[in-house]
Amino acid sequence: MEELFSKSFLSILRRSERVMVSTGAGISAESGVPTFRGPGGLWNDFKPEELATPQAFKRDPKKVWEWYDWRRQLLAKVDPNPGHHALAALEKIVPQFFLFTQNIDGLHQKAGNKTVYELHGSIWQVRCTREAKPAFEMHENPISQLPPICGCGAPLRPNVVWFGENLPADITAMAWEVAKACDAFFLIGTSATVQPAASLPWVAKENGAIVVEINPEETPATEIADESFRANAGMILPQLVEALKNHHG
């Protein structure tokens, strides 16, 4: 059986001090979470400009909350898949591991990853639309009142990054810093189309990292990938972690 992973590839990974992973909706697909693009993608049935922008929320906060409440109820019924669990295992075997995700579903944390940098926020957190108070967890499911109201009387909003909104400055700065310093960069389950997250593999490549892509489809980043596996994350990641554990070269 043709080796899935070459010895030289495993050696490079084994010698990698700093490993960065950037995930998108595809890593949660095998858990039953719809992706955004492609077959069954959310954007086939819903318009991002009507649901995932600050203007949409201003226009109709109840409609936006109905969508996020629906997604929370869906997410509460799913569990991490072998792809998530393999990344939790990888975190334990590489010297320095950095996991950045565009996903707001919290499944990496549920799989046991200690440190997860959420570039686009979390669907399980809310923040006040009036007071500049820190975001806080809200796990009521379904949410009894839409929109949920802050103690100050103003509507709460999901603590997620909508289109046209800046990403959290500290996490974005960290992502660029780590991408510049990492030895290996994994791009997993993302169409690499939404900026600024989509630029990270190029930052890593320009700074000498090996770029590894895992996606059943080609993406704009495939051209810069040193290894690009046309496969599902839940199928290939457990095998990669196993091969790494048994590779001592």
Question: Rounded distance, CA 58 to CA 46, Å?
Answer: 18
120 assigned to active site: yes
Among 191, 205, 221, 244, binds ligand BV8 (CB under 6 A): 191
SS3 197: helix
Query: Taking CB under 6 A as the rule, does residue 219 contact ligand BV8?
Result: yes
Phi and psi at 45, nearest 5°, equal -105, -20
Query: Taking CB under 6 A as the rule, does residue 87 contact ligand BV8?
Result: no
Strands 210-214 and 227-229: parallel
Query: Which of residues 125 and 219 has its CB atom nearest to ligand BV8 in the complex?
Result: 219
Percent composition of the chain: helix, strand, coil (DSSP 3-state, to 5): 40, 20, 45
How would you write 84-107 as a 3-class SS string? Answer: HHHHHHHHHHCCEEEEEECCCCCH
SS3 43: helix
Q: Give the residue from 187, 235, 240 showing the smallest Cα distance to 9.
A: 240
Query: Taking CB under 6 A as the rule, does residue 195 contact ligand BV8?
Result: yes
Query: Taking CB under 6 A as the rule, does residue 217 contact ligand BV8?
Result: yes
Among 193, 207, 220, 223, binds ligand BV8 (CB under 6 A): 193
Residues 224-243 interacting with ligand BV8 (rule: CB under 6 A): 232-234
Per-position x/- string for 147-176, each x denoting binding to ligand BV8 as judged by CB under 6 A, each - no binding:
-------------xxxxxxx----------
Which residue in 84, 120, 247, 248 is the catalytic one?
120
Known catalytic residues are 120
Binding-site ranges for ligand BV8 (CB under 6 A): 24-27, 29-30, 35-38, 41, 52, 102, 104, 120, 160-166, 189-191, 193-197, 214-217, 219, 232-234
